[in-house]
Structure 1
């Protein structure tokens, strides 16, 4: 499981706001957060940049841990 929801909330973003930044719908963000939808490495990097730009320091390993 990923930690996108946790970092999104720490960045003080709603699913709709994050979706707008990613050019995706709120529903798509919800599916990404729950693991129902896979994302590309480019989208994952875009997520990390969005979070870091909003003061939430994180890396790919933080958001997508290998060991759950």
Structure 2
């Protein structure tokens, strides 16, 4: 699972507003948030970069936590 929704909501953005920043459809953000679709590493990096540009202080691992890490 990822934390895109939490970070997006903390910024007061809708899925549509965030999607527009990337030139994506709202459904793509929805699919990423609910786990129907997993973003690739380049998309993950873009999302984190944009969230930080918008005022959040997040990392790749905070938005996309590693699975089952030891």
Query: Same fold by TM (over 0.5)?
Result: yes
Tell me how far apart the structure 1 counterparts of residues 10 and 49 of structure 2 sit (CA, whole Å). 14
Q: Where do 4+ consecutive residues of structure 1 move more than 6 Å?
A: none
Unaligned runs of 5+ in 1: none
SS in 2 for 1:58: coil
Over the residues paired in the alignment, what is the CA RMSD in angstroms? Answer: 1.4
Tell me how far apart the structure 2 counterparts of residues 25 and 53 of structure 1 sit (CA, whole Å). 20
Larger Rg: 2
The TM-score, its normalising length taken from structure 2, stands at 0.87
1:18 aligns with 2:36: no
Unaligned runs of 5+ in 2: none
